[in-house]
């Protein structure tokens, strides 16, 4: 199963939204951290569902985080902290894993999330494109 399928499955299980027919963003890449001694390396990928929306529509920004070789047994995965950069106006300032974003201004928004635990930090990015009114 690919990380994309796992991310969609996670959202379905959480009941966040049904994404049938939605096209997720193509993440820049899955990136890995270099952990402090005794901690797991983190791997992270950031997805945006859908990747292109009309102004006033909602997109979901969802990071997928796991330990090495898809190992979910790393204890520090329970202590994740999220910090987002590049979210457009209309998105709440977020410190949690899933962000529901309803931007009103058109544009292309490169979004980055920094995910950290007590022993590791990793960044992932993706792009949200909003079609619609552009500021004058």
The domains found in the chain, sorted by start residue, are: 3-131 (2.60.40.10)
What is d(CA 34, CA 132) in angstroms, rounded to the nearest whole number? Answer: 40
Beta-sheet pairing, 120-131 with 107-117: antiparallel
C-alpha to C-alpha distances, 128 to 5, 34, 69, 122, 123, nearest whole angstrom? 20, 28, 28, 20, 17
**Matching residue, tokens 């009103």:** 104
What is d(CA 43, CA 124) in angstroms, rounded to the nearest whole number? Answer: 9
Nearest alpha-carbon partner for 68 in 33, 114, 106: 33
pTM of the model: 0.72
Per-residue pLDDT of the chain (136 residues; tens, 9 = 90+): 333 333 332 333 232 333 334 455 555 556 667 666 667 778 888 999 999 999 999 999 999 887 765 555 676 677 888 999 999 998 887 777 889 999 999 999 999 999 888 888 888 999 999 998 766 6
């Amino acid at each position: 199963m690919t990380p994309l399928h796992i991310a969609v499955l996670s959202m379905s299980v959480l009941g966040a939204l049904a994404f049938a027919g939605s096209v997720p963003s193509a993440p820049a890449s899955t990136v890995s951290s270099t952990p402090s001694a005794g901690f797991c390396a983190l791997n992270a990928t950031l997805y945006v569902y859908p990747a292109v929306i009309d102004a006033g529509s909602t997109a979901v920004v969802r990071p997928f985080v796991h330990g090495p070789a898809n190992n979910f047994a790393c204890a520090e995965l329970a202590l994740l902290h999220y910090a987002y950069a590049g979210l457009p106006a209309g998105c709440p300032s977020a410190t949690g894993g899933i962000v529901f974003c309803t931007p009103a201004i058109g544009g292309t928004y490169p979004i980055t999330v920094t995910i950290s635990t007590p022993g590791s930090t990793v960044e992932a990015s993706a792009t949200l494109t909003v079609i619609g009114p552009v500021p004058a």
